[in-house]
Amino acid sequence: MLFRNQLMLWFMALVFTIQLCLTAFIYYYSVRARELRFYHRLESKAEQTAHLLIGRLDLKPEDLSSLRKKDLLTMHNERISIYEPGGELVFHIAQEKKDAGAPTTDAAYFSQITRQQPARFHKGAVEVLGMQYRHKGQRYLIFVAGRDAFGRREFATLRAILLGGNLGALVLIIGAAWLFAGRLLRPLARMVAEVRGITASSLRQRVNEGNRRDEIAQLAMTFNEMLSGLEQTFEAHKNFVSHASHELRTPLATVLGTLETAAAYDPDLPTARRSMESAVEEIQKVIDLTNGLLALAKAEGAAPAAERVPFDDVVLRAVASCRTRYPGRTVQVDFGQWPDAVEVPFGTRGNEQLLHTAVLNLLDNACKYSAGSVTVQLQYNPARQLWLRIADTGAGLTAAELARLTEPLFRGENSRDRPGFGLGLPITQKIVQAHGGQLRITSVVGEGTQAEMVLPAA
């Protein structure tokens, strides 16, 4: 179901429920008010009848026989019954003969009548009130019954008004819900239209953010932030494809040219051998670049296994590999103290081979771009995380180069004459992020570069 329809239904249900509750309130208290009003009328009639028939006429048969029905009965279906202290009926008058059996019904309420509390009950549409009257020390019971024809007609009119009013209100609520939902969702409809106009070739477009305060404006701002991230990702992807194509095209073109030249002009085997060696060197570059790209793709999708890894062993193996790759280079290793509560020192969880690749990439960069010594420090930080710091004394990097250092295939100015393809740091960053850690690189031109890796301790 569309959100617009859901919003209309919720609005209609809420408002109509409130309308029905108000109608029920009015209906209930109208019923109560009519009953109280009519019973008060019956009570007044009972008091007047008691004063007349008991107080003045003393229930003398000769006086009572002179009374006519129209002298006493003034309501629809009215009847008056008087009972002496023994419970015997001494006077009964009614407009209809079918009320002759009323005394039997009245007897069931004799015990409920007190001086302060009369008895009230219904007999169909006829309402009955029984009350006590004392005369000359004797207790008489008087029952007056009648049908509130005028009140019931008035109440029927009220029911019709409430029913018609609720039906009319329902129509108005439906219209109000339609207008309310349309007005409320208009910014969303505009946003949907704007979003549909944004394609991969027009990621620079942005959604109107409105007043930048309400929830819809916050949604538009969030979507614009997502578009900015997508735009940056697309740009990085295009640059990556462009750089990768260039890096692959250059050695392949060199291989092709070398082999064509060898085939056309190399007169003897030694000359052809030198051409083949040059081609093999260029092909090895293509293989190294391809392996680097595959490693980057693997690091991006890495889901390291939750196994305990002795990170100090990983660092020592990476240092040994680096010393083999750069013989004569000084690599100083310093392990700090670990807390007493740690069962396995310098332990973390993840993939040991990926962590070894990350540390080796950092060490390789430090040795490649620095002729001096390289220092490696591994210790716990105050948050009991593993903290690895690798520092060199090379030429350093500018702020602009630091900002792009983790972009695939990006290389700084001082790396143009060094082997590599600009994939080591991007691979390392992906591996560290996959292990829930952080990679921070700082550098000062002319002083050197520091790489800090922070990993959660096991």
pLDDT in tens, 181-211: 888 878 878 888 888 888 777 777 787 777 7
Confidence of residue 42 (pLDDT cuts 50, 70, 90): very high
**Boundaries of every domain in the chain:** 3-154, 215-298, 304-456
Q: How far is CA 200 from CA 47, 192, 205, 231, in A?
A: 92, 16, 10, 9
Strand-by-strand arrangement of the 438-444 sheet = 331-335, 374-380, 385-391, 448-456, 438-444
CA distances from 196 to 82, 189, 193 (A): 87, 11, 5
Q: What is the pTM of this model?
A: 0.49
DSSP 406-448: TSTT---GGGTTSS--S-HHHHHHHHHHHTT-EEEEEEETTTE
215-298 has which fold? Helix Hairpins (1.10.287)
pLDDT at residue number 428: 81
Q: Is 126 in contact with 145 (CB distance < 8 Å)?
A: yes
Identify the H or E element spanning 94: strand 89-94
Neighbour-count burial for 260-286, b at 16+ CB within 10 Å, e otherwise: eebeeebeeeeeeeebeebbeebeebb
Q: Which CATH architecture has domain 304-456?
A: 2-Layer Sandwich (3.30)
The CA distance from 194 to 186, in Å, is 12
Q: Which residue has the tokens 């007043």?
A: 211
State pLDDT tens for residues 286-299: 776 676 666 656 65
**What mean pLDDT is reported for the chain?**
81
- Domain 3-154 architecture: 2-Layer Sandwich (3.30)
- Residue 331 identity (one-letter amino acid): V
Q: What is the tens place of the pLDDT at every residue in 369-421?
A: 787 888 888 988 877 788 899 988 888 888 777 777 777 666 666 665 566 66
pLDDT at 295: 63
100-104, 114-118, 240-244, 264-268: range with lowest mean pLDDT: 240-244
* pLDDT at 23 (0 to 100): 92
329 SS3 class: coil
Question: How far is the C-alpha of 235 from the C-alpha of 237, rounded, in Å?
Answer: 5
